[in-house]
């Protein structure tokens, strides 16, 4: 008799057999049940299993929706897990984690009493608390690494030495994966984190919740996290399937949409030489997301300078898209980590939402110069509080000529602050770098205009006519 297969070898076999990375979430929300009861929750989930089993790589029941019904709910959960076809792994979403003796009983309850194949587990009590869950290679875990909820940054993004705690968790998971049964939970809401985790642990499976009501972009998440074999990620879909009148049809659409991204001719994302940095693959998904939501428009636009442009960046739209705003803010962080400063300083108005999101993610204090000084109250020129002699880094959405940046720097300097660096999402390459450099300021950008054109050309987003107009416009811009 051969060695027992590991959990992730079973999951891989299922992914290939079903040609699917769809993880069907079994979350019997009360509004789906009519008269909520353990029996109704059981029947709802069994019907969902029957409708979607052909298209699922895995099923993920959430224990909370069963535990609320007490002992009958626990029995119903067992019935649901037993109702999943044997070839399809079951991941129990229970987020367990306690001292080793307690963990051993949690493992027994999940794997022996209920019959689950894997479990979501908190890593924060350390290896001895995790070990009972991974002693048997046939049973797996997904360690909570960078979760999809808005409060995840309260702890998971804090620094451990020179890296975020979630990357420390990823590194430990790689070390603990001696039996091919340790994976990670990394929210699809944060493709930057997914890319960093994938770079840290190239082979581990990632469970990436957040697609659906939480607003995650599956394309960005998959591009950031898929392995070279185009496996290694599970995309859980729960509420969208539970609310559907024909969940099988919805499951097919999700599976096919995921597979289209996996098999697209532009995946893995092309990284033209001298274009987007290879170390930051998730930024290419960010570039596509900006285009997809209308933050980038093509046409004939008159600029403040009077010139006409075939492209317009409307980054003020980010304020109404919190998930994308968070991704944009995260893209600034690697640049800011290389700089020395006391405070972030936002250029009003477009730079304020971005700088606020950066402050929330980084914990750095924020100030901003007012466009109009109040004639009442404190009559402050700079809002947010600071001490003269401190250093500020200026944050804005994009830069063209650099004029608005120089105005903001003048106000900050008059107030007694020192500014050495300006960081933007997009440098339009219209001479701002030279204008800022002439007064001792260093411009940093996540993207340049030419990098974005290179990427969108490689991805097929630009036709030849539009590309010619953009290249002609770029050629008219002041050279460095």
Which residue, among 51, 160, 71, 149, has the nearest Cα to 113 in the 3D structure? Answer: 71
- Say if residues 254 and 219 touch (Cβ distance below 8 Å): no
Which residue, among 163, 209, 214, 204, has the nearest Cα to 184 in the 3D structure? Answer: 204
Q: In what order do the strands lie in the sheet with 418-427?
A: 382-383, 366-369, 343-346, 391-399, 418-427, 442-448
Phi, psi of 270 (to 5 degrees): -70, 140
- Say if residues 392 and 341 touch (Cβ distance below 8 Å): yes
Q: What is the DSSP string of 221-271?
A: HHHHH--TTS-SEEEEE-HHHHT-SSHHHHHHHHHHHHHHHHH-TT-SPP-
Q: What is the DSSP string of 165-213?
A: HHHHHHHHHHHH-TTS-EEEEE-TT-HHHHHHHHHH-TT--EE----ST
Distance from C-alpha of 224 to C-alpha of 188, rounded to nearest angstrom:
9
- Say if residues 296 and 289 touch (Cβ distance below 8 Å): no
Neighbours of 178 (CB within 10 A): 9
Which residue, among 256, 252, 259, has the nearest Cα to 226 in the 3D structure? Answer: 259
Which residue, among 313, 321, 302, 307, has the nearest Cα to 447 in the 3D structure? Answer: 313
CA atoms within 13 A on the CB side of 200: 24
Distance from C-alpha of 125 to C-alpha of 98, rounded to nearest angstrom:
7
Of 95, 179, 411, 469, which residue is the catalytic one? 95
Q: Which two tokens stand for residue 131?
A: 């070990």
Distance from C-alpha of 344 to C-alpha of 187, rounded to nearest angstrom:
27
Active site residue 95: yes
Distance from C-alpha of 10 to C-alpha of 350, rounded to nearest angstrom:
49
C-alpha 134: how far from chain center: 27
Distance from C-alpha of 166 to C-alpha of 145, rounded to nearest angstrom:
5
Q: In what order do the strands lie in the sheet with 233-237?
A: 58-61, 22-26, 233-237, 206-207, 182-186, 140-146, 118-121, 91-96
For the annotated catalytic residues, the residue numbers are 95
């Amino acid at each position: 008799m051969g060695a027992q297969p590991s959990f992730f070898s079973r999951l891989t076999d299922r992914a290939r057999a079903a040609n699917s990375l769809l993880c069907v979430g079994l979350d019997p929300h009360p509004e789906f049940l009519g008269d909520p009861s353990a029996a109704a929750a059981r029947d709802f989930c069994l019907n969902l299993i029957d409708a979607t089993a052909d298209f699922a790589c895995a099923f993920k029941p959430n224990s909370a929706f069963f535990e609320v019904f007490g002992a009958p709910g626990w029995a119903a959960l067992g019935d649901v897990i037993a109702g999943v076809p044997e070839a399809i792994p079951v991941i129990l979403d229970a987020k367990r984690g306690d001292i080793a003796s307690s963990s051993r009983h949690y493992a027994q309850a999940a794997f022996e009493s209920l019959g689950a194949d894997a479990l979501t587990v908190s890593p924060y009590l350390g290896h001895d608390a995790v070990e009972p869950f991974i002693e048997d290679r046939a049973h797996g875990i997904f360690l909570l690494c960078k979760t999809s909820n808005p409060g995840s940054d309260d702890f998971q993004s804090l620094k451990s030495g020179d890296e975020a705690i979630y990357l420390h968790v990823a590194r430990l998971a790689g070390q603990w994966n001696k039996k091919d049964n340790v994976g990670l939970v990394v929210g699809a809401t944060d493709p930057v984190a997914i890319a960093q985790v994938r770079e840290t642990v190239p082979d581990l499976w990632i469970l990436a919740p957040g697609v659906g009501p939480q607003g995650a972009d599956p394309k960005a998440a998959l591009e950031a996290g898929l392995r070279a074999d185009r496996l290694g990620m599970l995309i859980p879909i729960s509420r969208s399937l539970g609310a559907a009148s024909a969940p099988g049809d919805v499951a097919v659409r999700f599976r096919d949409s995921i597979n289209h991204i996996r098999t697209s001719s532009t995946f893995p994302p092309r990284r033209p030489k001298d274009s987007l940095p290879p170390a930051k693959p998730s930024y290419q998904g960010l570039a596509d997301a900006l285009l997809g939501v209308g933050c980038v428009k093509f046409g004939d636009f008159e600029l403040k300078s009077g010139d006409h442009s075939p492209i317009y960046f409307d980054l003020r739209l980010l304020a109404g898209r919190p998930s994308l705003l968070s991704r944009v803010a995260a893209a600034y962080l690697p640049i800011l980590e290389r700089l020395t400063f006391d405070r972030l300083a936002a250029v009003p108005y477009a730079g304020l939402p971005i700088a606020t999101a950066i402050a929330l993610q980084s914990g750095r204090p924020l100030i901003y110069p007012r466009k109009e000084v109040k004639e009442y109250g404190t009559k402050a020129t700079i809002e947010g509080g600071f001490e003269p002699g401190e250093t500020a880094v200026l944050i804005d959405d994009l830069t063209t000529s650099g004029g608005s940046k120089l105005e903001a720097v003048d106000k900050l300097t008059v107030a007694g602050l020192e500014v050495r660096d300006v960081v933007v999402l997009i440098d339009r390459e219209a001479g701002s770098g030279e204008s800022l450099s002439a007064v001792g300021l260093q411009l940093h950008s996540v993207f340049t205009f030419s990098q974005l054109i290179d990427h969108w050309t490689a991805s097929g987003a630009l036709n030849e006519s539009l590309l010619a107009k953009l290249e002609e416009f770029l050629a008219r811009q002041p050279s460095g």
